[in-house]
Structure 1
Amino acid sequence: MSTHGKNPYEIVQELLKESVNGLGLDESIYQILKKPMRVLEVSIPIRKDNGDIVNYTGYRSQHLDILGPTKGGIRFHPEVNIDEVRALSIWMSMKSAIIQLPLGGGKGGVIVNPNDLNERELEELSRSYIRKITPIIGPKKDIPAPDMNTTPEIMAWMIDEYDKLNGYNVPGLLTGKPIIIGGSQGRLEATGRGVVITIREAANAINLDLSQATAAIQGFGNVGSATAHFLHESGVKVVAITDESGGIYNENGINIPELTEFVAEGNVIADYEKCESISNEKMFALPIDILIPAAIENQITKETAPTIQAKIVAEAANGPSTPEGNDILEENGVFIIPDILCNAGGVTVSYFEWVQNTMNYYWKEEKVNRELEEKMISAFKRVYEMKEEKKSGMRQAAYMVGIKHLVLALKARGWIKNGDLSKM
């Protein structure tokens, strides 16, 4: 889903290379990390209700499994492509390593606009996709999860199909399931909750009083809406929100509970009449404290970055900043919470769900949220300390923290025989 001509796979490889060099590690480390260990492409022919057969293309990428089974979402989107899926699997490895989860990085996707399918066709696509990737997935191999345009209902269809193939229930196959069939309390809101935890830690680092702060959010899907909810609870005034339908602005703050209810009734945010209209470009340029891109890749570019006045940019989306955009923000003194740290709450609670499935014992939501907060705060601290130690930006610091954790595992397994790790 690359925009502005930027290939996310090339971007993540550049970031890996810079961070390997920043740690003073040998080129061989980059050679191990720079591409996934396995990428599967599958063909998914579906008979539509009008009798036509349409053949969709699906992917599953598994980056590295030295810490444990690979883990990552499945997205349904017309702009899914193989390089995006590869990049996202590497990002997942980094997230798991930063949080110190016993997981590697995986990602999957199907090139499809789910709005073009009715419910039966969408279910057939979901079941067929999971059948096609069954040889390489499983609770001890690779654990899928929801992502863009996939839901707990779609996860339920997928796990039902996998269970039929196996002849017994395998609840740990994937995460993000409905609670009734082994899902975890707190999973749906986990990414947004984690975003706000990292915003709170960043605010502490720069002495920003959140009770007096203003914010704007790009995207009002699961992550954007949950982030808005938790910011509102924290006393932050959310003044602008944009999504595919348009944008809304209210300098006195948007009534987030009312907007959430409005959208839940089947409306789009652009039709919410208690606000002015605003474009994405104007929202990015607002004089606010916190900007949260929670939509798609490559939104903060060399064109948009110079207009950003926010003190904190919290990357709730994957890859929302191009390298040029990131450099401009850093030069302008913006505190960036990079995606591989900021939105890691989702994979963290997915890990908790997998643990609960393995134990066949389920936690209360209070425990899930408490464990999530502990892990997100610890991860933020590790990245911030690396930033201070290496005098780097937060993004490079996050990659260096993740790479350092992976390198220690590579060393323990004997992959690195003569690498000098003393400089890390």
Structure 2
Amino acid sequence: MGNSATAETNPYRVAIAQFDRAISFMPNLKTGLIEFLKRPCRVITLDFPILTDDGSVQLFTGYRVLHSRVRGPGKGGVRYHPDVTEDEVRALASWMTWKCAVVDVPFGGAKGGVVCDPKKLSQDDLRRITRRYISDLGDNIGPHTDVPAPDVNTSAQTMAWIYDTYDRLHPGRNNLPVVTGKPVGIGGSLGRDAATARGCVFVTKHMIRRGILTARSSLRDARVVIQGFGNCGAHAARLFVEEGARVVAVSDSKGGVFSDDGLDIDAVLRQKASTGSVAGTDGTDPISNADLLELACDVLVPAALENQITSANAERIRARLVVEGANGPTTPEADEVLERRGIPVVPDILANAGGVTVSYFEWVQNVENEQWDLSKVNAKLERKLTQATDQVVDQRRTLAEQLPALQAQIEAAQHKRGHRDVPTLSAPSLRTAAWVLAIGRVAHVALERGIWP
């Protein structure tokens, strides 16, 4: 991969580019406030040793970034992956701020990660890593400060270790709200395991109702392709089929499977459980991750890692609608190509916000010492994400209607400063609309609270 490709796929550069694109539609925000909203308020780097099961001492690097607490405690997952970087965690923390704001959940953004390969570590090794990471973070996390959650390669079990570690260090309190995504038996919420995927399906259904996917009134018989078969992808495959869609291809890090008639998702799930991969499922054809992304389909759900749709493959994407189940799967350069080709992209900060929404529900249940039933959780989730989808679609229409006035306002301001080169605003995308909505909400609260002291 060349330097230009590396620059294109740097996650923090992607997050800043998305922010700057939205800010171009918000000429009334002051420069100082913009910089405050853009930058993280705290970046923590930890280096710690672990005595692993093989008898060796290994050194691990961990990160925790708190991007914003303007609207409430920081909120964001912890991922374990060999490719975790500070820039990635900064970007993910930023996206969490805007994700919480776009669905109007009273949290700010945060994210954490440990550079490790869980496939090469035992369960006991992962437990030790988790406990040492949380112990070293100390009071930089807390129920009203910064609340972790599951992410790539972490699970409800990991969250149980986080809770237990924090609880031992802070005895005599209700510490359940310190982390979400816990097992139900220790304060986890019903519905949290499938929440990201369920939210993704709710948003997709409502986007179709709002006319974003032309010539379709529902998901029935829609061709769906899902890249990634972890928590989001696997649950999404099952839920899309329940809505009457045909999931024709899915993949994981080891390969993919395709069936033009639609996959037997139960068979794919059994194959994944028994072999660790979807590859080789009976009655399917093999397909690579790269080829899967370029299949003709109604809905493409990239639900793996960042930077899957780039300038290198965007011209070959044949989906009619892209729904971002993962964080940051589409680069800004690819966004421009897809916009030009008329392929709408439902942005990650809306499409995969089901997870943080139900995490908020779990946090509320923990604070109030309640346990909601599954039907209540799912009903509240659908209502929350349907409302957010309406607001994003309406925001895009409003921005489009205001485009000439916004352009004139920007030109006048630039000429007043003596600048001759004035950027020309293009038609707003769903992503831009979601970011404008989210930034506006955070900026409004920041100004209401005032700049301290």
Q: Would the TM-score normalized by the shorter structure come out above 0.5?
A: yes
* Corresponding residue for residue 114 of structure 2: 110
Q: Do residues 248 (structure 1) and 273 (structure 2) align?
A: no
Does the CA contact (< 8 Å) of 1:130 and 1:161 recur in 2?
A: yes
Identity %: 41
In the alignment, the residues of structure 1 paired with residue 35 and residue 63 of structure 2 have an alpha-carbon distance, to the nearest angstrom, of 23
Does the CA contact (< 8 Å) of 2:17 and 2:332 recur in 1?
A: no
Deviation, 1:412, is 0.7
In the alignment, the residues of structure 2 paired with residue 334 and residue 326 of structure 1 have an alpha-carbon distance, to the nearest angstrom, of 9
* Corresponding residue for residue 348 of structure 1: 357
Q: Secondary structure at the match of 1:86?
A: helix
Q: Secondary structure at the match of 2:68?
A: coil
* Corresponding residue for residue 341 of structure 2: 332
* Corresponding residue for residue 422 of structure 2: none
Q: Normalised by the size of structure 2, how large is the TM-score?
A: 0.89
Does the CA contact (< 8 Å) of 2:92 and 2:110 recur in 1?
A: yes
Q: Do residues 402 (structure 1) and 407 (structure 2) align?
A: no
* Residue identity matched to 2:157: E
In the alignment, the residues of structure 2 paired with residue 3 and residue 373 of structure 1 have an alpha-carbon distance, to the nearest angstrom, of 40
Deviations for 1:84-119, whole angstroms, at most 9, x for unmatched residues?
A: 101100100001100111100000000000111111
Does the CA contact (< 8 Å) of 2:267 and 2:281 recur in 1?
A: no
In the alignment, the residues of structure 2 paired with residue 279 and residue 116 of structure 1 have an alpha-carbon distance, to the nearest angstrom, of 24
* Residue identity matched to 1:394: L
Count of aligned positions: 416
* Corresponding residue for residue 225 of structure 1: 234
Gaps in structure 2 of 5+ consecutive residues = 401-427
Gaps in structure 1 of 5+ consecutive residues = 418-424
Deviation, 1:266, is 4.1
Identify if the C-alpha distance between structure 1 residues 36 and 310 changes in structure 2 by more than 3 Å, giving closer, same or farther: same
Q: Do residues 100 (structure 1) and 104 (structure 2) align?
A: yes
In the alignment, the residues of structure 2 paired with residue 53 and residue 374 of structure 1 have an alpha-carbon distance, to the nearest angstrom, of 49
Q: Do residues 262 (structure 1) and 266 (structure 2) align?
A: no
Aligned pair partner of 1:90 in 94, 104, 110: 94
* Residue identity matched to 1:415: I
Aligned pair partner of 1:23 in 13, 22, 26: 26
Q: Secondary structure at the match of 1:211?
A: coil
* Residue identity matched to 1:131: S
Q: Do residues 48 (structure 1) and 52 (structure 2) align?
A: yes
In the alignment, the residues of structure 2 paired with residue 174 and residue 4 of structure 1 have an alpha-carbon distance, to the nearest angstrom, of 36
Q: Secondary structure at the match of 1:289?
A: strand
Does the CA contact (< 8 Å) of 1:3 and 1:297 recur in 2?
A: no
Q: Normalised by the size of structure 1, how large is the TM-score?
A: 0.95
Deviation, 1:3, is 11
Instruction: State the superposition RMSD in angstroms.
Output: 1.6
Q: Do residues 188 (structure 1) and 193 (structure 2) align?
A: yes
Deviations for 1:258-314, whole angstroms, at most 9, x for unmatched residues?
A: 222332334421021210011122222212111010001111011211111111100
* Residue identity matched to 2:195: A
Identify if the C-alpha distance between structure 1 residues 166 and 310 changes in structure 2 by more than 3 Å, giving closer, same or farther: same
Q: Do residues 370 (structure 1) and 379 (structure 2) align?
A: yes
In the alignment, the residues of structure 2 paired with residue 232 and residue 290 of structure 1 have an alpha-carbon distance, to the nearest angstrom, of 13
In the alignment, the residues of structure 2 paired with residue 354 and residue 41 of structure 1 have an alpha-carbon distance, to the nearest angstrom, of 26
In the alignment, the residues of structure 2 paired with residue 81 and residue 53 of structure 1 have an alpha-carbon distance, to the nearest angstrom, of 22
* Corresponding residue for residue 405 of structure 2: none
* Corresponding residue for residue 12 of structure 1: 15
In the alignment, the residues of structure 2 paired with residue 3 and residue 267 of structure 1 have an alpha-carbon distance, to the nearest angstrom, of 34
Q: Do residues 360 (structure 1) and 357 (structure 2) align?
A: no
In the alignment, the residues of structure 1 paired with residue 380 and residue 448 of structure 2 have an alpha-carbon distance, to the nearest angstrom, of 27
Does the CA contact (< 8 Å) of 1:240 and 1:248 recur in 2?
A: yes
Does the CA contact (< 8 Å) of 2:37 and 2:443 recur in 1?
A: no
Identify if the C-alpha distance between structure 1 residues 374 and 3 changes in structure 2 by more than 3 Å, giving closer, same or farther: farther
In the alignment, the residues of structure 2 paired with residue 237 and residue 87 of structure 1 have an alpha-carbon distance, to the nearest angstrom, of 33
Aligned pair partner of 1:139 in 114, 137, 143: 143
In the alignment, the residues of structure 1 paired with residue 345 and residue 20 of structure 2 have an alpha-carbon distance, to the nearest angstrom, of 20
In the alignment, the residues of structure 1 paired with residue 52 and residue 287 of structure 2 have an alpha-carbon distance, to the nearest angstrom, of 39
In the alignment, the residues of structure 2 paired with residue 246 and residue 123 of structure 1 have an alpha-carbon distance, to the nearest angstrom, of 29
Q: Do residues 412 (structure 1) and 415 (structure 2) align?
A: no
* Corresponding residue for residue 205 of structure 2: 200
Q: Do residues 129 (structure 1) and 133 (structure 2) align?
A: yes
Q: Secondary structure at the match of 2:147?
A: strand
* Corresponding residue for residue 58 of structure 1: 62
* Corresponding residue for residue 420 of structure 1: none
In the alignment, the residues of structure 2 paired with residue 271 and residue 3 of structure 1 have an alpha-carbon distance, to the nearest angstrom, of 36
In the alignment, the residues of structure 2 paired with residue 282 and residue 47 of structure 1 have an alpha-carbon distance, to the nearest angstrom, of 42
In the alignment, the residues of structure 1 paired with residue 302 and residue 114 of structure 2 have an alpha-carbon distance, to the nearest angstrom, of 23
Structure number with greater Rg is 2
Q: Secondary structure at the match of 2:309?
A: coil
In the alignment, the residues of structure 1 paired with residue 294 and residue 58 of structure 2 have an alpha-carbon distance, to the nearest angstrom, of 43
Does the CA contact (< 8 Å) of 2:68 and 2:109 recur in 1?
A: yes
In the alignment, the residues of structure 1 paired with residue 5 and residue 359 of structure 2 have an alpha-carbon distance, to the nearest angstrom, of 32
Deviation, 1:19, is 1.1
Deviation beyond 6 Å, 4+ runs, structure 1: none
Q: Secondary structure at the match of 1:232?
A: helix
Aligned pair partner of 2:84 in 56, 59, 80: 80
Deviation, 1:415, is 3.2
* Corresponding residue for residue 394 of structure 2: 385
